[in-house]
């Protein structure tokens, strides 16, 4: 018995040390945002190709899918089929039960629509229809047409992997106390793990084919780093990109450039010493806060303080987006605590 108790204690201690404290920014399905800290083990992701254990320090964002709960889907499918009956009271009750299930019913609707025998004309003209229930659940829970049943993990700010992230709730310490948030209430989690030396450090890849400041669809890379007003941070970058939108000229993070036929770069501001605060094409830029329209110059080497509090975003400066851009920048960000 003593051996068993000792083993359990050792297991608990090992697991406690394996956890890492992370700053988190949770977006909920109801539109609320929760900021705080949470303890994470490495991310256990079940994919179609097997299980992955992803170091949480490498994770920058987790998008929570609506999932595929078989027991819940079977129950929802039974209610959906009742919506095809002619009895108004039965339809109304089934409609109400589906709304109570919320996102857990989504996969059942998809299975229902995928079966051709369910796609039939109906003379029913009331409000308690399959289509209305499906759209109301999506609208209520902010589920868009491009939402996925899978949880999607963003690794190092650039690479994504889909599967099932096995957790039921997340305990978040906020300034108002600890909140326990069920997984099904969470839409996405921004994660930032600090290193033990008093600074937080992460490396990101800015892809020229996507991360362009003028790209209105995902042009700004969300780092998952939440800065406080006055907090100091450093940005360093290397690599080169070819911007098809600018005559296929080649650029470095400091804004220096050369034509495709040239061997030497010109211009640029490696360490911000020019005194010019406005970025040039091809330069690494940043902004603080999703609603910000600023393109603040970072270049290849930058040290500064946040003027406001919010999430840190980075991008490659160019007002016109072209999907034929090539290359990437490696960007390292360290944050003082």
pLDDT of the residue at 68? 79
pLDDT of the residue at 14? 41
- Say what the alpha-carbon torsion angle 296, 301, 304, 309 is, to the nearest 10 degrees: 50
Q: How far is CA 327 from CA 74, 155, 240, 319, in A?
A: 47, 19, 6, 18
Name the residue among 240, 211, 221 with its Cα closest to residue 328. Answer: 240
Distance (Å, rounded) from C-alpha 148 to C-alpha 55? 23
Residue 203 C-alpha from the chain's centroid: 16
- By residue count, the chain amounts to 337
**177 - beta bridge partners?**
174
Q: Which domains does the chain have, with CATH numbers?
A: 20-64+152-193 (no CATH), 70-140 (no CATH), 199-336 (2.60.120.430)
pLDDT of the residue at 228? 87
Collapsing DSSP to helix, strand or coil, 142 comes out as: coil
pLDDT of the residue at 15? 43
pLDDT of the residue at 194? 60
pLDDT of the residue at 7? 45
Residues of the chain with pLDDT under 70: 1-18, 86, 157-158, 194-200, 270-276, 337
**55-109 confidence digits (pLDDT tens):** 988 888 899 988 877 777 889 999 998 988 768 999 999 999 999 998 889 889 9
DSSP string across 218-264: T-SEEEEEEEPTT-EEEEEEEEEEEEGGGTTEEE-TTS-EE-TT-S-
pTM of the model: 0.59
DSSP 80: H
């Amino acid at each position: 018995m003593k051996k068993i108790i000792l083993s359990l204690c050792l297991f608990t201690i090992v697991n406690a040390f394996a956890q890492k404290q992370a700053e988190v920014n949770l977006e909920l399905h109801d539109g609320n945002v929760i900021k705080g800290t949470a303890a994470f083990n490495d991310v256990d992701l079940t994919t179609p190709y097997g299980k992955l254990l992803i170091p949480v320090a490498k994770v920058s964002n987790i998008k929570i899918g609506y999932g595929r709960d078989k027991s819940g889907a079977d129950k929802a499918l039974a209610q959906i089929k009742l919506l095809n009956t002619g009895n108004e009271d039965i339809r109304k009750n089934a409609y109400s039960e589906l709304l109570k299930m919320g996102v857990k019913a989504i996969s059942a609707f998809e299975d229902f629509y995928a079966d051709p025998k369910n796609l039939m004309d109906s003379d029913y003209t009331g409000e308690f229809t399959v289509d209305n229930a499906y759209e109301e659940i999506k609208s209520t829970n902010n589920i868009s047409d491009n939402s996925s049943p899978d949880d999607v993990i963003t690794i190092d700010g650039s690479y994504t992997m889909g599967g099932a992230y096995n957790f039921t709730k997340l305990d978040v310490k906020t300034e108002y106390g600890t909140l326990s948030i069920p997984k099904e209430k969470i839409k996405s989690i921004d994660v930032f793990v600090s290193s033990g030396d008093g600074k937080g450090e992460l490396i990101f890849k800015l892809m020229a084919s996507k991360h362009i400041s003028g790209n209105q669809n995902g042009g700004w890379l969300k780092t998952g780093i939440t800065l406080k007003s006055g907090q100091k941070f450093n940005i360093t970058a290397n690599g080169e990109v070819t911007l098809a939108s600018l005559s296929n000229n080649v650029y470095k993070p400091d804004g220096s450039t050369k034509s495709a036929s040239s061997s030497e770069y010109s211009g640029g501001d490696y360490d911000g010493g020019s005194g010019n605060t406005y970025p040039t094409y091809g330069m690494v830029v940043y902004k603080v806060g999703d609603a910000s329209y600023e393109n603040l110059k970072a270049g290849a080497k930058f040290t500064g303080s946040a003027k406001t509090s919010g999430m840190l975003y980075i991008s490659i400066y160019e007002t016109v987006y072209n999907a034929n851009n090539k290359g990437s920048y490696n960007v390292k960000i360290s944050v003082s605590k």
